[in-house]
């Protein structure tokens, strides 16, 4: 093993390089600190100084001894977890000398690597959006609720935001702003029942503050779903305590969660108080830019208390959803129930318990919580909540969580050898994908996945086209879950028809932002902060969302062959969406082609033509390609369905024979603008727009991701330039393989020159700022298609870590970006693993990143469970039933449970 040994001193880092462990160092580096930088920034210098050297692990010689980590060091009155920092920086495990002494080097490194791959840990106390981002990343939940990973002792303030959300619980408010009535539908932040704190000798209860909180270590165990926080506290009074708290969501009875709160007085004996609360006074204030709008959604209706149990019932203000939250506090250290007190507060209810404590002993308090609402099939009646509480226990909740996650990891894990960081972050993403959706699989919830999960309030918990980046992962692993998410859309088909009708169109028009009912939740105007005028907001013109839903319907059916779904739901959705596009396409006598106007593509920088009073754009390439694809797909699927089943779906969709004929005519005659080099114009007229001097803007502003804001601040508009927030014209190449897209375009009567793909990718990449995190994912795929593996890897790894590092500087604080998270999973299996599910059989063409030694994952395709193990030479695949697969250009017949190994050239 190649090693570095390091000592972190007060003024410098001392590093020795051992190319062979156990032998003398061949090089020494003394890296003096730069006093203008933090210790974390100084650590980054290691990367530069050691550039070019190869090492597999680091040994930290002077780690402090803590119960939660052995790689923390103290430097100049500051402390840092060097292990966590260096693992992030160098992608290697860092072990302590103490662990090496105890276990031996090889075992210590192995244990640390295993730990790192299954834990998301943060050390220290952070402030503002940085802490809020960590709260989002440490969210626990089960798809019914999401509970942000805030410190239990916190109330919402500038540093902390303990949000609680239940899927599908939305509420509308109307606020008058600058003479304008603005309606907002929010995913409601429900009463905070996770609050717990302590006090000593009946003094003021502890509140989080920098002086008293000496150390805080938060660790989310991805394997079990358990979030553990350890705090070392020294009060101004001299009392020292260790507080260890654990939070876990019940993954079977999803109205429940449990908290274990353990207090160890370290240097005193005396009287300890535990305070817990259900706080009904909370508002939706996670996103500061929404603070001008009414944030109050809750009306507390009743509070009940009984010894160790409390209940808070209420109703959301305009959606009138009833909720009851119950909490029960128990402790093995306080056997007498009379010792628990409950007191009502104006907007909440508090429980307290007091006991005599001794130094060095640990006192345990369990708080079990039940949340029920009238929105799902749960019963918010008190007796029901009480019955659930009576069945709850911390240990039982832990068991459900362990069982669920064990089964989930068995079916969905992606295993990588050779890259700790990617391994850990892919697991973080899988974890959050189920935190956001697990319970929906039951079919008892009417909800889908919001763009920001159940983790924060950005985009008000709305559902976007992001589903298209999310569903493929579920479809290939948990098809029932994917189906239930599509059912959310199916139930809103009548509303989508109304949306279309209201704008004078036939068929179904899904909203750009969807919430409880499926009506449009995007704003139609927004307040210009500079001019204080209400300007039009055209973002809802991203009508492609209906096509993205159609893609999800098709993908689900394609992968599962669920005929019942296609017959009873899917085809009706596809036809209804198609009917909308037929009515939206206009025939142009002059050139004998169809045009689609008044739309926006995914690139949100272009809402309309500069100097035009008409909203939207004409012939957006992505939209038109997807319309052509949908129309052809309907014809293909129709041939696979019994005549009567198709007729029934057509009737339900009011799709008559004229519409059917229009499918072929329109799909082959839609308009694209393609120049001589084969560049597909994002929309008609795009080539006439001036280019921007990106270099100059970069020099002036540094980060130009949100070029729209920069230009608007300069009184310009992004509409007027060739600048894109995210992939648009080339999006179809993300959805399908190149041949499919090329065929669609050729069927439309356009010829593409050789090298057109490379030209397009280079052209658009040079004009894209990646202002949406979704952009990196799409361009990672595009770069790989263009054989540019280096840039593909760069964009993928930035996307993979985008929430972990909160690369947009504060947006993770307002919820994770679920679309990107799930898309990284898809990209790993489809592009790096090269397992393409778009054909009739799985096709395998691996392109592993160089440093990944092996990649292992499962797929469920057309009823067959496949296991893939891929390295740089060989694909090994096992199926549980006989099936056909393509590896490279060759077909193989798999026998049930017999592994097939095929060598391929990388």
* Site for ligand BGC contains 786 (CB under 6 A): no
Question: Token pair of 431, please?
Answer: 């974890």
Based on CB atoms, which residue is closest to ligand BGC, 363 or 465?
A: 465
Instruction: Kindly state whether residue 604 participates in binding ligand BGC, applying the rule CB under 6 A.
Output: yes
Nearer to ligand BGC, 298 or 615 (CB): 615
Stretch that binds ligand BGC, among 267-275, 392-400, 464-472, 644-652 (CB under 6 A): 464-472
Nearer to ligand BGC, 90 or 822 (CB): 822
**Strand spans (E) along 482-578:** 525-527, 534-536
Burial category of 478 from C-beta neighbours within 10 Å (exposed 0-12, middle 13-18, buried 19 and up)? buried
What is the arrangement of strands in the sheet containing 890-894, beginning at the earlier edge strand? 835-836, 842-844, 883-887, 890-894
Q: What gap in Å lies between CA 403 and CA 248, rounded to an integer?
A: 13
| Interface positions, 794-833, toward ligand BGC (CB under 6 A) | 819
Task: Answer for the pair 886, 842: CB distance below 8 angstroms, yes or no.
Answer: yes
Nearest distance from C-beta of residue 455 to ligand BGC, angstroms: 13
Region near ligand BGC per CB under 6 A, out of 67-75, 273-281, 459-467, 868-876: 459-467
Tell whether residue 457 is a contact of ligand BGC (CB under 6 A): no
* Nearest CA-CA partner of 79 in 54, 62, 96, 101: 62
Contact call for residue 605 and ligand BGC (CB under 6 A): no
User: In 3-state terms, what secondary structure has residue 891?
Assistant: strand
Contact between 83 and ligand BGC by CB under 6 A: the answer reads no
Q: Which residue, 225 or 461, is less far from ligand BGC as judged by CB? A: 461
Answer yes or no whether residue 459 interacts with ligand BGC by CB under 6 A.
yes
Is residue 135 within 8 Å of residue 161, measured between CB atoms? yes
Nearer Cβ to ligand BGC (257/459): 459
- Residue 214 CA from chain centroid, whole number: 32
Stretch that binds ligand BGC, among 251-259, 460-468, 746-754, 790-798 (CB under 6 A): 460-468
Whose CA is closest to 628, among 672, 680, 566? 672
- Integer Rg of the chain from CA: 29
CB of 352 to ligand BGC, least distance (A): 43
Bridge partners (DSSP) of residue 500 are none
**Considering only residues 466-495, where is the footprint of ligand BGC by CB under 6 A?**
466
The secondary element (H helix, E strand) that includes residue 596 is strand 593-596
Binding part of the chain for ligand BGC, among 90-98, 313-321, 463-471, 502-510 by CB under 6 A, reads: 463-471
Choices 143-151, 206-214, 224-232, 461-469; region in contact with ligand BGC by CB under 6 A: 461-469
CB of 602 to ligand BGC, least distance (A): 5
Q: Which residue from 481, 455, 449 is spatially nearest to 467, judged by alpha carbons?
A: 449
Strand order in the sheet with 348-357: 196-200, 270-279, 348-357, 340-345
Size of the site for ligand BGC (CB under 6 A): 12
Tell me how far, at minimum, the Cβ of 180 lies from ligand BGC, in Å: 23
Between 323 and 473, name the residue whose CB sits nearer to ligand BGC: 473
Q: Judged by CB, which is closer to ligand BGC: 604, or 660?
A: 604
Q: Least distance to ligand BGC from the beta carbon of 544, Å?
A: 10
Q: Counting contacts by CB under 6 A, is residue 461 touching ligand BGC?
A: no
Per CB under 6 A, 726 contacts ligand BGC: yes
Q: Does 464 bind ligand BGC (CB under 6 A)?
A: yes
Q: Which is nearer to ligand BGC, 722 or 802 (CB)?
A: 802
Which of these segments, 458-466, 557-565, 665-673, 856-864, binds ligand BGC (CB under 6 A)? Answer: 458-466
Question: Which residues sit opposite 328 in a β-bridge?
Answer: 309, 368
| Residues in 691-720 that interact with ligand BGC by CB under 6 A | none
Nearest to 258 by CA among 169, 198, 329: 329
Q: How far is the CB of 513 from ligand BGC (least distance, A)?
A: 9
Structure-block tokens of residue 479: 């098809």
Burial class (CB in 10 A: 0-12, 13-18, 19+), 750: middle
Selected from 112, 725, 776, 859, the binder of ligand BGC by CB under 6 A is 725
Dihedral of the CA atoms 757, 763, 768, 772 (nearest 10)? -10
Q: Is there a contact between 477 and 412 (Cβ–Cβ < 8 Å)?
A: yes
Whichever of 424 and 432 has its CB closer to ligand BGC, that residue is 432
Query: Least CB distance from residue 464 to ligand BGC, whole Å?
Result: 4
Among residues 293, 465, 473, 796, the one that binds ligand BGC under rule CB under 6 A = 465
Among residues 120, 451, 454, 662, the one that binds ligand BGC under rule CB under 6 A: 451
The nearer residue to ligand BGC, 584 or 725, going by C-beta atoms, is 725
Cβ 199 to ligand BGC shortest distance, Å: 42
Among residue numbers 9 through 38, which ones bind ligand BGC (CB under 6 A)?
none
Measured CA to CA, the distance from residue 8 to residue 16 in angstroms comes to 12
Tell me 518's DSSP state.
Answer: S
Stretch that binds ligand BGC, among 35-43, 399-407, 462-470, 705-713 (CB under 6 A): 462-470
Stretch that binds ligand BGC, among 312-320, 440-448, 457-465, 792-800 (CB under 6 A): 457-465
Among 774, 813, 844, 848, binds ligand BGC (CB under 6 A): 774
**C-beta of 380 vs 815, nearer to ligand BGC:** 815
Dihedral angle computed from the Cα positions of residues 697, 700, 705 and 711, in that order, rounded to the nearest 10 degrees = -60
How many other C-beta atoms lie within 10 A of the C-beta of residue 732? 25
Smallest distance from the beta carbon of 808 to ligand BGC, in angstroms?
9
Residue 328 corresponds to which tokens in the numbers above? Answer: 């029960």
Cα separation, 608 vs 594, in Å, equals 20
Positions marked catalytic: 604
Q: How far is CA 409 from CA 251, 404, 489, 856, in A?
A: 14, 9, 28, 12
Count Cβ atoms within 10 A of the Cβ of residue 591 and give its class: 0-12 exposed, 13-18 middle, 19 or more buried.
exposed
Backbone CA torsion sign across 147, 148, 152, 155: negative
Q: Does 772 bind ligand BGC (CB under 6 A)?
A: yes
Measure the CA–CA gap between 906 and 892, rounded to whole angstroms: 19
In the complex, the smallest distance separating the C-beta of residue 141 from ligand BGC, rounded to whole angstroms, is 19
Q: Is 543 a binder of ligand BGC (CB under 6 A)? A: no
Site residues for ligand BGC per CB under 6 A: 451, 459, 464-466, 602, 604, 725-726, 772, 774, 819
């Amino acid at each position: 093993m190649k090693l570095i040994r390091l000592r972190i001193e007060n003024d410098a880092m001392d590093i020795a390089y051992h190319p062979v462990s156990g032998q003398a160092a061949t090089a020494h580096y003394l890296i003096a600190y730069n006093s203008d930088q933090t210790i974390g920034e100084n650590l980054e210098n290691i990367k530069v100084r050691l550039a070019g050297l190869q090492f597999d692990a680091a040994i930290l010689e002077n780690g402090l001894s803590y119960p939660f980590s052995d790689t923390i060091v103290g430097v100049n009155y500051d402390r840092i977890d060097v292990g966590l920092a260096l693992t992030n920086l160098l992608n290697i495990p860092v072990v302590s000398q103490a662990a090496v002494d105890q276990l031996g080097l090889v075992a210590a490194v192995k244990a640390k690597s295993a730990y790192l791959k299954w834990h998301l840990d943060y050390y220290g106390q952070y402030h503002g959006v940085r802490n809020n981002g960590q709260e989002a990343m440490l969210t626990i939940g089960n798809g019914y609720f999401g509970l942000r990973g805030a410190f239990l002792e916190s109330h919402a303030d500038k540093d902390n935001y303990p949000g609680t959300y239940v899927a599908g619980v939305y509420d509308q408010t109307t606020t008058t702003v600058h003479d304008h009535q603005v309606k907002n539908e929010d995913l409601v932040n429900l009463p905070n029942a996770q609050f717990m704190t302590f006090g000593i000798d009946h003094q003021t209860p502890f509140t989080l503050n920098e002086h008293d909180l000496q150390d805080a270590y938060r660790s989310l165990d991805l394997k079990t779903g358990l979030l553990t926080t350890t705090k070392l506290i020294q009060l101004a009074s001299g009392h020292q305590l260790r507080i260890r708290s654990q939070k876990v969501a019940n993954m079977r009875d999803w109205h429940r969660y449990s908290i274990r709160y353990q207090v160890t007085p370290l240097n005193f004996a005396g009287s300890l108080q535990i305070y817990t609360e259900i706080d009904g006074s909370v508002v939706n204030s996670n996103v500061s830019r929404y603070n001008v709008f009414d944030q109050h959604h809750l009306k507390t209706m009743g509070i009940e208390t009984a010894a160790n149990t409390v209940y808070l019932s209420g109703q959301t203000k305009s959606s009138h959803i009833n909720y009851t939250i119950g909490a029960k506090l128990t402790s093995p250290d306080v056997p007498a129930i009379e010792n628990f007190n409950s007191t009502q507060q104006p907007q909440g209810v508090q429980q307290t318990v007091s006991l005599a404590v001794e130094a060095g002993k640990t006192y345990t308090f369990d708080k079990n919580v039940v949340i029920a609402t009238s929105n799902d099939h749960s019963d918010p009646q008190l007796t029901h909540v009480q019955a659930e509480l009576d069945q709850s226990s911390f240990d039982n909740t832990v068991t459900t969580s362990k069982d669920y996650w064990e089964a989930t990891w068995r079916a969905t894990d992606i295993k990588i050898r050779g890259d700790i960081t990617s391994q850990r972050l892919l697991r973080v993403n899988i974890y959050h994908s189920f935190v956001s959706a697990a319970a929906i699989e039951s079919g008892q919830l009417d909800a889908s996945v919001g763009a920001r999960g159940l983790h924060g309030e950005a985009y008000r918990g709305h559902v976007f086209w992001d589903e298209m980046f999310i569903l493929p992962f579920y479809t290939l692993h948990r098809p029932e879950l994917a189906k239930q998410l599509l059912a959310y859309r199916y139930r809103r088909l009548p509303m989508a028809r109304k949306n279309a009708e209201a704008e004078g169109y036939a068929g179904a028009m899904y909203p750009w932002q969807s919430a409880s009912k499926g009506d449009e939740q995007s704003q139609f105007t927004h307040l210009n902060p500079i001019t204080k005028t209400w300007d039009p907001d055209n973002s809802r013109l991203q009508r492609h969302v209906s096509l993205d839903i159609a893609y999800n319907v098709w993908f689900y059916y394609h992968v599962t062959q669920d005929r019942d779904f296609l017959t009873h739901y899917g085809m009706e959705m596809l036809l209804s969406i198609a009917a909308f596009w037929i009515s939206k396409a206009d025939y142009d006598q002059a050139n004998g082609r169809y045009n689609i106007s008044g739309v926006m593509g995914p690139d949100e920088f272009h809402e309309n033509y500069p100097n035009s009073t008409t909203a939207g754009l004409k012939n957006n390439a992505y939209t038109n390609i997807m319309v052509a694809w949908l129309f052809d797909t309907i014809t293909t699927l129709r041939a696979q369905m019994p005549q009567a089943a198709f007729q029934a779906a057509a009737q339900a969709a009011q799709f008559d024979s004229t519409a059917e004929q229009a499918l072929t005519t329109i799909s082959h005659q839609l308009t694209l603008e393609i120049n001589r080099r084969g560049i597909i114009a994002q929309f008609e007229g795009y080539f006439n727009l001036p280019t921007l001097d990106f270099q100059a803007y970069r020099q002036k502003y540094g980060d130009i991701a949100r070029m729209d804001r920069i230009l608007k601040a300069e009184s310009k508009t992004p509409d007027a330039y060739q600048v894109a927030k995210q992939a648009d014209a080339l999006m179809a190449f993300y959805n399908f393989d190149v041949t499919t897209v090329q065929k669609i375009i050729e069927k439309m009567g356009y010829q593409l020159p050789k090298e057109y793909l490379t030209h397009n990718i280079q052209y658009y990449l040079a004009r894209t700022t990646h202002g949406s995190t979704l952009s990196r994912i799409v361009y990672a795929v595009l770069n790989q298609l263009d054989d540019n593996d280096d840039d593909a890897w760069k964009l993928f790894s930035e996307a993979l870590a985008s929430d972990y590092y909160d690369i947009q500087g504060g947006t993770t604080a307002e919820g994770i970006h679920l679309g990107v998270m799930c898309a990284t999973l898809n990209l790993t299996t489809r592009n790096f693993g090269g397992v393409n599910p778009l054909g009739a059989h799985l096709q395998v063409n691996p392109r592993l990143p160089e440093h990944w030694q092996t990649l292992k994952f499962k797929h469920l395709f057309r009823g067959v469970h496949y296991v893939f193990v891929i390295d740089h030479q060989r694909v090994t695949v096992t199926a549980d039933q006989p099936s056909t697969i393509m590896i490279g250009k060759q077909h193989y017949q798999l026998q049930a449970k017999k592994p097939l190994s095929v060598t391929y050239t990388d």
